[in-house]
Structure 1
Amino acid sequence: MPSLGPAVNMVGMGSVAPERPYRGVQAADRLAERRERLLVAGLDLLGGREMPALTVRALCRRAGVASRYFYESFTDKDEFVAAVFEWVVNDLAASTQEAVAAAPPAEQTRAGMAHLVAAIAGDARVGRILFSTRLTNALLVRKRAQSSALFAMLSGRHVENVLRVPGNDRIKAAAHFVVGGVAQTIGAWLAGDIHLQPDQLVDQLTALLGQLDDPALYRDPPS
């Protein structure tokens, strides 16, 4: 399960009136705890095998909080869905970057893929929100498209830095290919269309991405 961290934006809290400590717990801590319970409940519902209709009442019932507490942190359901997605993707992106940075340069691609696959295998809810090909929530679909564009940009910069080649449209094309290809492959794996063990999937993705390490792929041929 993702851990709450700096990436969680306390949206909507500015309009909440100050409260007194209750049983020694400060109001801000109680609000943060209720928000976390709502986000976890949202992950359960949005990342479940069957996505039920998302209502504030159902969400709060699963979170074990009164419905009125939903609106102390979120303006509406769209803001809530966006917060759940950002909570999940920011946490996974940060932990994957840490895994990559901790590995020797020659092993960084495998380290990133291994961490990503392990995280999804350990919590299928995260995988479904980020990669499922059967996603039906329109806002999640838009958020996923936005995050894919961001990861493609970051992937392109990584190629520029590692291979020491200037940025160009060839790098952009490869970056979108990597992000889209990995996402589609993991989505198919989650859906059961690809029958590989997690370590086999990591091997396959690493081998495919390794073919993109040739700097010549990103240079225009001599005229």
Structure 2
Amino acid sequence: MSAEERLAERRERLIAAAYTLYSDPGFPETTIEKLCAAARISNRAFYECFSGRNELMQALHDRCVQETLASVAKAVEQAPDTLFSRVEAGLAGYITFVTEDRRRARIMHLEVRRAGDCLTTSRQKAVKAFTKIIEANIFDLPDTIEANRHLLSLGLIGAIQELLIEWVLAEDPPQVDSLISTAVHIFHRSFVL
């Protein structure tokens, strides 16, 4: 392996370790030593890949977001070309993909907040990307709706985030189908008079 290939391989091992450890026990509780032990690399090798835990968390969060964006875009693209079909496909695609792996849901909706200010920009970038998808698919919104489409999209994202935090933290989490139907109901109540 070349030096670049070794570095890339170490980065992937660290991201895999962070995917597990940042979701349980969580970002604040995960030390660099724990990450290095799980990835089977030295502390020195860690710092060749990342400047610290925050940068690793950002790389992991960005990857989760990109994978989810791709999944949602595919679901919307394959949906019938009506407002409600596109939105329902997007909501179902998002919630289903995020909940397929509890670690992904926890990182994207809980640990990103627990990481603090270091991920504010990354989180805002993710919200902006998901807002764009929603806005792009509500272009035929009835003219009777006077609310700002951007703010409606942000409100829908906030509601979905809270539903997923509940799913992550609840002792008896709601069924995924229930999360999807609730998100669809919120959309219908928000966007239809």
TM-score norm. by structure 1 comes to 0.71
Kept after mapping to 2: 8 A contact 1:100/1:111: yes
The 2-side partners of 1:188 and 1:136 are apart by 15
Partner of 1:184: 162
Deviation at 1:51, TM superposition (A): 4.4
Partner of 1:28: 4
Partner of 1:82: 58
Partner of 1:43: 19
State the Cα deviation string for residues 126-173 of structure 1 (Å, max 9, x = none): 1111123894221465233442244334433432x34497xx961122
Partner of 2:180: 202
Partner of 2:105: 127
- SS for the counterpart of 1:60 is helix
Partner of 2:89: 111
Structure 1 residue runs without a partner (length 5+): 1-24, 218-223
- Structure 2 vs 1, CA of residues 182 and 211 (structure 1 numbering), >3 Å: closer, same or farther? same
Kept after mapping to 2: 8 A contact 1:56/1:77: yes
State the Cα deviation string for residues 87-120 of structure 1 (Å, max 9, x = none): 1111111122112211212422222222222223
Kept after mapping to 2: 8 A contact 1:148/1:179: yes
Greater share of residues in helix: 2
The 1-side partners of 2:61 and 2:133 are apart by 19
- Structure 2 vs 1, CA of residues 119 and 89 (structure 1 numbering), >3 Å: closer, same or farther? same
Deviation at 1:29, TM superposition (A): 2.6
The 1-side partners of 2:167 and 2:39 are apart by 30
Kept after mapping to 1: 8 A contact 2:112/2:123: no
1:61 matched to 2:37? The reply is yes
Cα RMSD (Å) of the superposition? 2.8
Pick the aligned partner of 1:152 from 127, 131, 150. 131
**What amino acid maps onto 1:144 in structure 2?**
R
The 1-side partners of 2:161 and 2:153 are apart by 12
Deviation at 1:54, TM superposition (A): 3.2
Kept after mapping to 2: 8 A contact 1:82/1:139: no
**What amino acid maps onto 2:169 in structure 1?**
A
The 2-side partners of 1:60 and 1:133 are apart by 19
1:174 matched to 2:152? The reply is yes
Kept after mapping to 2: 8 A contact 1:35/1:73: yes
State the Cα deviation string for residues 27-86 of structure 1 (Å, max 9, x = none): 333322211110111111222254453332221111112222212222233222211111
- Structure 2 vs 1, CA of residues 183 and 151 (structure 1 numbering), >3 Å: closer, same or farther? same
- Structure 2 vs 1, CA of residues 153 and 179 (structure 1 numbering), >3 Å: closer, same or farther? same
Kept after mapping to 2: 8 A contact 1:81/1:139: no
Deviation at 1:190, TM superposition (A): 2.0
Structure with higher Rg: it is 1
TM-score norm. by structure 2 comes to 0.81
> Identical aligned pairs, as a percentage?
25
Kept after mapping to 1: 8 A contact 2:135/2:150: yes
- Structure 2 vs 1, CA of residues 49 and 162 (structure 1 numbering), >3 Å: closer, same or farther? farther
